[in-house]
């Protein structure tokens, strides 16, 4: 079979390529420090039916397929594990299919970016609650649902997956079956309104799956009325600041959700770095900080939402009382917004794009970002410091340094997320050691009980390498994978399940 011609027959020659420069650009994601594995083809379908046809070819020819959203993942989930295969770029699938104001849901194609979707919804007075990852100007709905992404609003609405009530998925089997999951499983439900009810939560198999179970083509997400009022609160902390901040956040949680849309701790080193110009052509992240927090102390900041000012005022008082009960905590002028956060104007997303690569074009993060339960924080930081000491010579050899903590965000219930990983330099001679250090760092993190919030190629293999899963659990996972993907064509290499010739 001539694969190129067959793919052209499906999507037209405009949307398939085997040109070197295209293959090269799809051999990388945000972490550009590892060897490039070029796919053979990049294809850009526009709907589920086209993807199904592509799957049929891949199945019959046993060609790996790798679904890709915005390519903003930090764990190499959207690039080939080995040279070859077909990368399916879903970003042409960016349509809003149905805004259902009776059920408060929106049906979209999975290649739409979070920023585009929320900009559309906000004009109509809605949003997706959790408005998607900070990378949402590039990252798309399918990537977020596959990575179980966190984002602004997670403190009250949960991760993006929690707000998904339906998916259309193409299965990686012989016929490229297209299925609906969620209450849309039942053909008599005209407007899907709920996640499950007919049988087990089969939608869940495809959420947070890192793209190994099926190719998501359409999603139904809950939408919420955008709250009328929003308030900012900020505190500075003097000593043992991360521990104190976590104690405060935990005590807040014990009182309920208190309208906390976002709560985050920012370490003093990051506060100070945000006040200054790091690169000549990039302005400081927030010059306001010089005025409201001149000593550059660590900060705890909140965004509260509510339907009226009284509700916010009441919650404000509760949070203030809890916060000021801790030694060394002071309230600062909350009216001066910190980090210029305002998702009405895309600033929320722009800030992150601004931070990435702030150390210059050659620096990059080898992320091992994670979620943990609040109470595990001290143990985790101790464990990672130990790893740093043990690996100091190797780190020096490639001038890499660990980037742990800095910012802690309140997530769902008593969970927090924060960046951990390494800042490294993208030089060919450092690649091998960079890769080894990255794996070793992730293995250490997994053994310390973290939950990676995206696993991609790297963390997923670390989970297997460190023996994190029991053999019984692995068998269960393999059974599901095998029944959905009998030839192992979808995202091979992830999780190193040892089932196929990976």
Ligand X SMILES: Cc1cc2nc3c(=O)[nH]c(=O)nc-3n(C[C@H](O)[C@H](O)[C@H](O)COP(=O)(O)OP(=O)(O)OC[C@H]3O[C@@H](n4cnc5c(N)ncnc54)[C@H](O)[C@@H]3O)c2cc1C
Contacts to ligand X by CB under 6 A: 29-30, 66-74, 77-78, 90, 110, 133-135, 138-140, 142-144, 146-147, 149-151, 210-211, 215-216, 352-353, 356, 453-454, 456, 491
Structure tokens at 452: 């990676």
Is residue 170 within 8 Å of 214, Cβ to Cβ? yes
Question: Between residues 159 and 259, which has the closer beta carbon with respect to ligand X?
Answer: 159
Structure tokens at 10: 């499906």
Rounded to a whole number of angstroms, the minimum distance from the CB of residue 302 to ligand X is 17
Helix, strand, coil shares, percent, the chain, to 5: 40, 20, 40
Q: Give Cα separations from 231 to 67, 94, 290, 337, 450 (angstroms).
A: 39, 33, 21, 9, 32
Rounded to a whole number of angstroms, the minimum distance from the CB of residue 47 to ligand X is 12
Is residue 165 within 8 Å of 220, Cβ to Cβ? yes
Rounded to a whole number of angstroms, the minimum distance from the CB of residue 393 to ligand X is 29
CA distance 94 to 21: 24
Q: What is the CA radius of gyration of the chain?
A: 23
Rounded to a whole number of angstroms, the minimum distance from the CB of residue 332 to ligand X is 25
Structure tokens at 492: 């091979």
Rounded to a whole number of angstroms, the minimum distance from the CB of residue 138 to ligand X is 6
CA distance 149 to 158: 10
Rounded to a whole number of angstroms, the minimum distance from the CB of residue 34 to ligand X is 14
Rounded to a whole number of angstroms, the minimum distance from the CB of residue 309 to ligand X is 29
Question: Between residues 168 and 487, which has the closer beta carbon with respect to ligand X?
Answer: 168
Alpha helices in 184-280 (DSSP H): 241-254, 268-275
Rounded to a whole number of angstroms, the minimum distance from the CB of residue 356 to ligand X is 4
3-state SS class at 129: coil
Q: What are the beta bridge partners of residue 106?
A: 99, 221
Residue 33 main-chain phi, psi, to 5 deg? -95, -5
Question: Between residues 71 and 402, which has the closer beta carbon with respect to ligand X?
Answer: 71
Question: Between residues 293 and 343, which has the closer beta carbon with respect to ligand X?
Answer: 343
Those residues whose C-beta lies under 8 Å from the C-beta of residue 230, and which sit 6 or more positions away, are 261, 303, 304, 305, 312
Question: Between residues 147 and 298, which has the closer beta carbon with respect to ligand X?
Answer: 147
Question: Between residues 67 and 184, which has the closer beta carbon with respect to ligand X?
Answer: 67
Question: Between residues 367 and 391, which has the closer beta carbon with respect to ligand X?
Answer: 367
Question: Between residues 171 and 322, which has the closer beta carbon with respect to ligand X?
Answer: 171
Question: Between residues 316 and 441, which has the closer beta carbon with respect to ligand X?
Answer: 441
Rounded to a whole number of angstroms, the minimum distance from the CB of residue 370 to ligand X is 11
Structure tokens at 64: 């790996």
Rounded to a whole number of angstroms, the minimum distance from the CB of residue 79 to ligand X is 9
Instruction: Report how far apart the first and last C-alpha atoms of the chain are (Å, whole number).
Output: 23
Rounded to a whole number of angstroms, the minimum distance from the CB of residue 238 to ligand X is 28
Could you tell me whether strands 105-109 and 215-222 are parallel, antiparallel, or unpaired per DSSP bridges? antiparallel
Could you tell me whether strands 86-89 and 41-43 are parallel, antiparallel, or unpaired per DSSP bridges? parallel
Q: What are the beta bridge partners of residue 178?
A: 170
Question: Between residues 135 and 236, which has the closer beta carbon with respect to ligand X?
Answer: 135
CA distance 233 to 335: 8
CA distance 51 to 55: 6
Is residue 415 within 8 Å of 154, Cβ to Cβ? no
Structure tokens at 41: 């083809």
């Amino acid at each position: 079979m001539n694969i190129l011609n067959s793919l052209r027959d499906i999507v037209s020659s405009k949307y398939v390529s085997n040109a070197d420069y295209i293959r090269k650009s799809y051999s990388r994601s945000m972490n550009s420090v590892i060897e490039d594995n070029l796919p053979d083809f990049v294809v850009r379908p526009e709907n589920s039916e086209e993807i199904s046809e592509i799957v049929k070819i891949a199945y019959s020819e046993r060609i790996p397929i790798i679904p890709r959203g915005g390519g903003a993942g930090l764990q190499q989930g959207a690039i080939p594990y080995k040279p070859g295969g077909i990368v399916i770029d879903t970003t042409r699938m960016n349509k809003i299919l149905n805004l259902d104001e009776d059920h408060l849901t929106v049906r979209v194609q999975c290649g739409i970016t979070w920023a585009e979707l929320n900009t559309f919804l906000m004009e109509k007075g809605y949003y997706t609650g959790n408005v998607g990852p900070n990378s949402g100007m590039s990252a798309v709905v399918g990537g977020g649902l596959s990575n179980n992404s966190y984002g602004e609003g997670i403190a009250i609405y949960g991760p993006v997956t929690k707000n998904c009530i339906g998916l259309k998925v193409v299965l990686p089997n012989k016929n490229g079956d297209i299925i609906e999951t969620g209450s849309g499983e039942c053909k008599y439900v005209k407007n899907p309104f709920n996640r499950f009810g007919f049988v087990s939560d089969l939608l869940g198999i495809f959420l947070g799956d890192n793209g190994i179970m099926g190719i998501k083509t359409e999603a139904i997400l809950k939408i919420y009325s955008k709250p009328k009022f929003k308030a900012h609160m900020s505190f500075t902390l003097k000593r043992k600041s991360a521990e104190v901040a976590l104690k405060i956040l935990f005590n807040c949680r014990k009182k309920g959700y208190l309208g906390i849309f976002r709560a985050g701790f920012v370490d003093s080193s990051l506060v100070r770095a945000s006040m200054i110009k790091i690169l000549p052509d990039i302005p400081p992240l927030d010059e306001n900080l010089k005025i409201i927090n001149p000593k550059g102390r660590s900060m705890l900041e909140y965004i509260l939402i509510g339907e009226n000012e009284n509700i916010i005022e009441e919650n404000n008082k509760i949070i203030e009382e809890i916060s000021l009960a801790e030694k060394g905590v002071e309230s600062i002028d909350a009216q001066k917004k910190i980090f210029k956060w305002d998702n009405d104007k895309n600033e929320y997303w722009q800030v992150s794009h601004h931070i990435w690569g702030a150390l210059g074009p050659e620096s990059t993060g080898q992320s091992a970002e994670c979620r943990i339960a609040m109470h595990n924080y001290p143990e985790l930081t101790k464990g990672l410091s130990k790893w740093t000491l043990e690996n100091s010579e190797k780190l020096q050899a490639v001038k890499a340094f660990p980037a742990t903590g800095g910012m802690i965000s309140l997530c769902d219930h008593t969970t927090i997320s924060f960046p951990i990983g390494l800042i490294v330099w993208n030089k060919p001679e450092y690649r091998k050691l960079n890769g080894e250090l990255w794996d070793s760092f992730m293995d250490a993190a997994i053994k310390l009980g973290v939950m990676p919030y995206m696993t991609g190629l790297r963390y997923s293999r670390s989970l297997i390498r460190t023996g994190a899963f029991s053999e019984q659990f692995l068998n269960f996972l393999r059974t599901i994978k095998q029944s959905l993907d009998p030839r192992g064509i979808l995202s091979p290499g992830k999780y190193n399940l040892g089932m196929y010739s990976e």
